[in-house]
Amino acid sequence: MMRSSLWRKFAAAAILLAPFAAPAQHFDGARAYEYAREFAAIGPRWPTGPGHVKAEEFLRHHFQGQQDQLEEDTFTADTPIGPVPMRNFIVRFPGSKPGVIVLGTHYETNYPLRTINFVGANDGASTTGLLMAIGDRLHEETMHGKKLEGYSVWLVFFDGEEAIQSWSDTDSTYGSRHLAARWGRDGTLGQIKAFLLADMIGDKDLDIQRETNSTAWLVALVGQAAKKFGYERYFFQKEMAVEDDHLPFVQRGVPSIDVIDLDYGPNNSYHHTAQDTMDKISAHSLTIDGDVFLETIRLIDLR
């Protein structure tokens, strides 16, 4: 009887305390949004322009300030306007398992749109902010010489994704084509377990398409990660093929996915226009993105 009475008291106390249990911690989409806002405030970031130099300094200052493992991958692109200096940024967070997961985005804006004050809030800035905030999480986990409990994670900020004149196989994806080729030559590609590309996913009306050039098992894993949080409605309701920075890696046999929302505004009316501004993106969408990317990393580590 005494035991039964104590158990009833314990159960009642548990019920009373339940509403105060700590909620599951979500990714800090507000921080990602703030980084994106600061980055978009630089203005247009087209290659050879003054905003591009400021964008480079923004990334350099952030990651050097945190004393992360930052590499600046400089190269000269052969473009329709002649040789153009470009720069990828690679930030490495070491893991305890041999192998690498790469998260990528592009950070520059479209060169042909340099005359319309195109700031690319969604198309470049939102995912730059997203990766910076993911980097903050990884930085906290690797402070004082600690390693991630899984594969190393590398963040890559690609230059030259946009066409300099008109999109084609040779006039686009300059940074990813350069880096995929370089990593193919030096053996780095063989270490990459998965490449996850983020593009245009700050959109308030988030609708991430199933990109058909992407690796099937990685698409399934992202879908599984979304389902964990109840985010299914934001993912893979439609499908399409997209040419993007993942293709140079797909073509070299690296498991890759393009996580992209290529339906931006009514009938895609904000894409590559001066209307691509910060009021069109949201911290809520970036929270969804960050939750899913971090969970996907965890699932890849378990494979």
Confidence band (pLDDT; 50, 70, 90) for 4? very low
Determine, yes or no, domain membership for 17.
no
Q: How far apart are CA 84 and CA 64, in angstroms?
A: 25
- CA-based nearest residue to 290, from 129, 92, 106, 130: 130
Determine, yes or no, domain membership for 79.
yes
pTM, full prediction: 0.92
Proportion of the chain in helix, strand, coil states, percent, rounded to 5:
45, 25, 30
pLDDT at residue 18 tops 60: no
Q: What is the pLDDT of residues 107-157, one digit of tens each?
A: 999 999 999 999 999 999 999 999 999 999 999 999 999 999 999 999 999
Determine, yes or no, domain membership for 7.
no
φ, ψ of residue 203 to 5 degrees: the values are -50, 130
Q: What is the pLDDT of residues 164-183, one digit of tens each?
A: 999 999 999 999 999 999 99
Q: What is the pLDDT of residue 25?
A: 84
Strand partners, 243: none
Mean pLDDT of 77-83: 98
Determine, yes or no, domain membership for 104.
yes
Mean pLDDT of 56-79: 96
Q: Which domain covers residue 144, as residue numbers?
A: 26-302
Determine, yes or no, domain membership for 48.
yes
pLDDT at residue 37 tops 60: yes
Q: What is the pLDDT of residues 227-248, one digit of tens each?
A: 999 999 999 999 999 999 999 9
What's the burial of 228, exposed, middle or buried (CB within 10 Å: 0-12/13-18/19+)? middle
- CA angle in degrees (0–180, nearest 5) for 75-77-79: 170
CATH number at residue 136: 3.40.630.10
Determine, yes or no, domain membership for 82.
yes
For the chain, give the percent of residues with pLDDT over 90: 91
Determine, yes or no, domain membership for 3.
no
Average pLDDT value for the chain = 93
24 against 102, higher pLDDT: 102
Determine, yes or no, domain membership for 261.
yes
Structural domain tally of the chain? 1
Task: Supply the Cα-derived Rg of the chain in whole angstroms.
Answer: 21
Q: How far apart are CA 226 and CA 238, in angstroms?
A: 15
Mean pLDDT of 269-274: 98
pLDDT at residue 268 tops 70: yes
Q: What is the pLDDT of residue 214?
A: 98
Q: What is the pLDDT of residue 24?
A: 56
